[in-house]
């Protein structure tokens, strides 16, 4: 009788709460993207369940999936009916948390110089950005990762990326090797003329200071380009 009562109780749950039941019974991996999102949103609107709201949110992103959702800004989210300030912030935080989790294991590795590993580390955080960012990674004489710094955000060209700022930071960290990483919002990682000019300028300045530019990695949409692998350095 107790089992039947519990079964009836589960059937009486509103549709917006069924992802919880499904997760408990079958595991979180069985939830659809919309159901996972519904758990985060918790509630829907007056006329739709949380799952229906989540489905609509995904449909309104550019790619109509979780990748598209990760690209959405706060103003874009709050323009969606049913997504207010709190829900928009939750969604932004989930996207950021996902990117940080994907990079956590790499931070624990002392040697961090392989282009594929660096590309994987930055892929989730940079591939969704709508503007370019330039990051510099710093390494010691044994190529042990010392840290990173965001150098600039916006359109990347040789006038915006300052070798002075990069090498002041490298000296401060006692780094003797550096790697440039930046993204192409278009998703195409092929190097532009500005990319080539930036790389040449940084490499030349580094030679004067005995600080070696090991690589310049461009992040696209699930693909990357390594200047070192291409023989550009």
Residues 123 and 17 in one domain: no
Residues 59 and 38 in one domain: yes
Residues 153 and 213 in one domain: yes
Query: 180, 216 in Cβ contact below 8 A?
Result: yes
Residues 43 and 119 in one domain: no
Domain boundary among 52, 69, 102: 102
Query: 170, 178 in Cβ contact below 8 A?
Result: yes
pTM here is 0.60
Residues 226 and 115 in one domain: yes
Residues 208 and 126 in one domain: yes
Domain boundary among 102, 130, 154: 102
Where residue 214 sits, what CATH number does that domain have? 3.40.140.10
pLDDT string in tens for the chain (233-residue length): 433 333 333 344 455 457 777 888 888 888 888 888 888 888 888 888 888 888 898 888 877 788 778 778 889 898 999 999 999 899 888 888 877 776 665 555 545 778 998 898 888 788 878 888 999 999 999 888 888 899 888 765 544 678 888 999 999 999 999 999 999 988 899 999 989 998 999 999 999 999 999 999 999 988 999 999 999 98
3-state secondary structure of 230: helix
Residues 98 and 114 in one domain: no
Residues 167 and 225 in one domain: yes
Domain boundary among 74, 102, 130: 102
Q: Quote the domain boundaries for residue 216.
A: 109-230
Query: 128, 221 in Cβ contact below 8 A?
Result: no
Residues 119 and 151 in one domain: yes
Residues 114 and 208 in one domain: yes
- Reported residue count of the chain is 233
pLDDT of residue 3: 35
Query: 163, 134 in Cβ contact below 8 A?
Result: no
Please provide residue 95's backbone torsions phi and psi, each rounded to the nearest 5 degrees.
-65, -45
Residues 123 and 206 in one domain: yes
Number of domains in the chain: 2
Residues 68 and 137 in one domain: no
User: How far does the chain reach from its first CA to its final CA, in angstroms?
Assistant: 74
């Amino acid at each position: 009788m107790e089992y039947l009562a519990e079964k009836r109780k589960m059937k009486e749950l509103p549709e917006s709460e069924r992802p919880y039941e499904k997760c408990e019974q079958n595991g979180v991996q069985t939830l659809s993207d919309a159901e996972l999102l519904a758990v985060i949103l918790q509630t829907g609107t007056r006329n739709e369940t949380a799952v229906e709201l989540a489905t609509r949110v995904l449909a309104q992103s550019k790619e109509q999936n979780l990748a598209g959702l990760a690209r959405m800004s706060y103003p874009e989210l709050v323009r969606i009916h049913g997504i207010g300030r709190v829900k928009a912030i939750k969604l932004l935080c989930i996207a950021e948390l996902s990117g940080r989790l994907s990079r956590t294991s790499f931070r624990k590795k002392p040697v961090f110089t392989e282009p594929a590993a660096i590309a994987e580390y930055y892929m989730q955080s940079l591939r969704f950005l709508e503007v370019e960012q330039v990051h510099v990674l710093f390494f010691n004489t044994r190529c042990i990762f010392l840290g990173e710094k965001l150098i600039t955000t916006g359109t990347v060209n040789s006038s915006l990326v300052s070798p002075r700022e990069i090498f002041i930071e490298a000296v401060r960290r006692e780094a003797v090797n550096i790697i440039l990483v930046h993204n192409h919002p278009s998703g195409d990682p092929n190097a532009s003329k500005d990319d080539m000019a930036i790389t040449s300028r940084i490499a030349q300045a580094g030679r004067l200071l005995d600080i070696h530019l090991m690589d310049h990695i461009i992040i696209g949409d699930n693909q990357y380009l390594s200047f070192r692998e291409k023989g550009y350095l």
